Amino acid sequence: MISFDLSPRIAEMKNAIRSLAEQAMRPIAREFDEKEHEEPHEFQNLMWSISGGRAFGSSDDAPNEGKSSGPREGNLGACVTIEELSWGDAGLYLSIPNAGLGGAAVMAAGTAAQKTRFLGRFAEGQPKWGAMAITETHCGSDSAAIQTTAVRDGDDWVLNGTKIYCTSGDRALRSGGFVVVWATVDRTAGRRGIKSFVVESGTPGIKVIKVEDKLGIRASDTAMIVLEDCRIPADNLLGVAEVHQSTEGFKAAMATFDATRPLVAASALGIGQAALDLARQELAQRGVEIRYDRCDAHLSAIERDFLDAEADLQAARLLTWRAGWMMDRGQRNNLEASMAKAKAGLAVTRVTQKCVEILGPIGYSRQLLLEKWMRDAKINDIFEGTQQINMLIVARRILGYSSKELS
C-alpha cells in the first residue's frame, strides 16, 4: 500500500520548525518587509546557532557523515522544513545563513574534495552565505546563452562578466562565503562550453554594484555582481574543464536544479499554507466554517473556493514530496522536480490571490500579513526556472523531444 505519511523523524522536525517559525519569524515578518535592506541580525544569529550553517532538514545527507542507519530522507526533510520556515516568512527564510544555492551547485557538480573544502567552512566561525550567479541582462531562462567568460591562465581561471538577480549574493561576498558563477570557456561551443566556478569571498575582481528593491521576499538580498579580471584557482572549477562534443558538462551544472526546484516548490507551499490558515481563522471569527462533509451543491461559494485552493496546494505538496523522495533514493528526478516547481508556482499564486479575495478589504489591507504573502508568492513562479521553462521541460520529458525539437 502506498503511504503518504511522513516518518516520525520528519514529523517531529516539522513540528519543531513550525514552533520556531511562529515564535521567531512571524513577529518580525512585517518589520523586515518594510526595512528591506536592513539585516535581521538577531534572527540570523539565532538560526546560525541552531544549524551551524547547515541546511535545515538534511542532516543525514551531510558530506562524509555516513551515520544514518535508516533510509535517506534528507531532501524530503529539507522540503518539509523549508515549507515550515516559509510558513513563518519566506523572505526571512531566504536570509538564513547557509550554503544556499551555491552549496547545492557544489553538491551537484563538485568533487568530494571540493565539497569538503567549500562546504566545510559553514560549520565554523561567523554566519556565512553561499550564492549562485547565473542570470545576465540578456540571458534569463536560456542559460546556454551566458556571455560571462572564463579563460585559463596558467594555474588560474580569469572571469569577466556581469550577473544579475543573484539571491544572497551581497551577503555571500560580505560574510566569508562564496558565489558559484556560471561562465563559458568557449562561446562558440554553446551549452558544451558552460561551466560553474566557485568564487570565494574576498577574491579581487568581484564586487556587488547593486542590491535590488523588490516586490516580495524583501528580507532576502538580490544582488547585481560584476567580475573584472577575477582570478581564481584552477581547482575552483566544478567538474571538468574540457569542452566535449556532448553537453555533459552543462547537464552536470543544470543538475543543481534537480535538487533546488523541489525546495523552491516547498517554499511556495509554506506561503500558500500560511494564507489558507489565516483565511480559515478569519472566516471562523466571522462565523463561517469550512465544511468537509457536504457536496458542492450544499456549500457556499466561499467554501467551494477555499476547498479548491486547498486541493490545489495539496496536489503541489505531493508532487514536491515525490521529487524530494526520488532524489533521496538516487533516482533521476528532473521531470518531477520541474513538475513540482511548475505546479507549486501556479498554486501559490492562485491560493494567495484567492485568500485575499475571500477576505476582501481586510485581506488587501496591511492589517494582516496576507497581502505580503501574495507579494512573496509570485517569485516562486519566476526564479529557479520560470513557469514557462518548467512547463517546457515537462513537455520535453513526457513527449521525448530534445531542446532542439521543442523550444
* pTM across the whole model: 0.92
DSSP result, 128-172 = --EEEE--BTTBSS-GGG---EEEEETTEEEEEEEEEEEETHHHH
Whether 384 is catalytic is yes
Q: For the stretch 132-154, what's the b/e string if a residue is b when 16 or more beta carbons lie within 10 angstroms of its beta carbon?
A: bbbbbeebbeebbebebbbeeee
- Residue/partner pairs of 4-9 with CB below 8 Å, 24 or more apart: 4/318, 4/321, 6/76, 6/80, 7/70, 7/71, 7/73, 9/70, 9/73, 9/77
The CATH superfamily assigned to 254-399 is Butyryl-CoA Dehydrogenase, subunit A, domain 3 (1.20.140.10)
- Using CA atoms, how far residue 7 sits from 11, 70, 143, 279, in Å, is 6, 10, 37, 29
Give 332-351 pLDDT, tens digit per residue. Answer: 999 999 999 999 999 999 99
Rounded to 5°, angle at Cα 156 from 152 and 162? 70
Give 118-166 pLDDT, tens digit per residue. Answer: 998 887 889 999 999 999 998 877 777 899 999 999 999 999 999 999 9
Q: Which residues in the chain are classed under CATH 1.10.540.10?
A: 8-97
Kindly report the CATH class assigned to 130-245. mainly beta
First to last CA, the chain: 39
Closest CA to 343 of 383, 380, 398: 380
Between 406 and 172, name the one with better pLDDT.
172
Q: Which residues in the chain are classed under CATH 2.40.110.10?
A: 130-245
**pLDDT band with cut points at 50, 70 and 90 for residue 57:** very low
Q: Which residues in the chain are classed under CATH 1.20.140.10?
A: 254-399
pLDDT average, residue stretch 172-196: 92
Q: Looking at this protein, which amino acid is placed at residue 378? A: K
Residues 6 or more apart whose CB falls under 8 angstroms from that of 398 comprise: 335
Rounded CA-CA distance 321/325 in Å is 6
Give 259-308 pLDDT, tens digit per residue. Answer: 899 999 999 999 999 999 999 999 999 999 999 999 989 999 999 999 99
Rg over CA atoms, the chain:
21
The H or E element spanning position 206 is strand 206-211
Return phi, psi of residue 34, to 5°: -80, -30
Catalytic residue among 39, 212, 384, 405: 384
* Helices 100-109 and 112-119, axial angle in degrees (round to 10): 160
Rounded to 5°, angle at Cα 265 from 377 and 60? 135
> By the 8 A CB rule, do 133 and 177 touch?
no
pLDDT of 248 above 70: no
pLDDT of 62 above 50: no
Average pLDDT, the chain: 91
Residues 6 or more apart whose CB falls under 8 angstroms from that of 58 comprise: 74, 75, 77, 78
Look-up: residue for cell 538577480?
165
Rounded CA-CA distance 179/320 in Å is 27
Q: Which fold has domain 8-97?
A: Butyryl-Coa Dehydrogenase, subunit A; domain 1 (1.10.540)
Rounded CA-CA distance 77/16 in Å is 13
Here the cell at position 113 is: 574534495
